[in-house]
Amino acid sequence: MSSHDKLLLAGILAAGLLAAPALAFDFGRPATPQEIKLWDIDVGPDGKGLPDGSGTAVQGKQIFADNCAACHGDNGQGGIKDRLAGGQGTLASNMPIKTVGSFWPYATTLFDYIHRAMPYPTPGSLSTDETYAVTAYILSLNGIVAADGKVDKESLPKIRMPNRDGFIPEPEFDPARLFRKK
């Protein structure tokens, strides 16, 4: 077999391997409602999706020390990862400090992020009540919730974050404009 024939054969083989996944339409099965529910854990700014449960800042202090302080530092500052507390009033300065208390627009986003992505390296390992407690503690570090405050699915969406109105939507990204039927 000549080198030209070998090259042609290799090209045909490669094209066949690349086309094979396109024909794989019969893999898997539809997810069951129970399986979908396991993954349907996002929380909206309005609190839609928040689970039942509650936690206090006092409870959250120890949970934070055990699971979060190694990365975020004691009291949410000074760690190797993002600073979580402080920075209020700095966003318009030359050295803005973006923290939960200075930058984030919704308290529900904090719960959602902790619940789905923290603590590193075991995301999702905190219970719902522990997640509420850590959320309350971080909010208390920023003066948004009292040091003995409690949060739950009813109270968390009602918290007005200091930078709630700091995000100004660009008109070209208005969902009403983007997704209207023509």
Spatial separation of the C-alpha atoms in residues 174 and 17, rounded to whole Å: 42
Q: Under a CB-based contact definition with an 8 Å cutoff, are residues 47 and 153 in contact? A: yes
Question: Structure tokens of 19?
Answer: 């086309």
Token pair 């968390």 in the structure block, residue: 156
pLDDT in tens, 49-98: 999 999 999 999 999 999 999 999 999 999 999 999 999 999 999 999 99
pLDDT in tens, 136-152: 999 999 999 999 999 99
pTM of the model: 0.78
Residue from 44, 31, 54, 34 nearest 131 by CA: 54
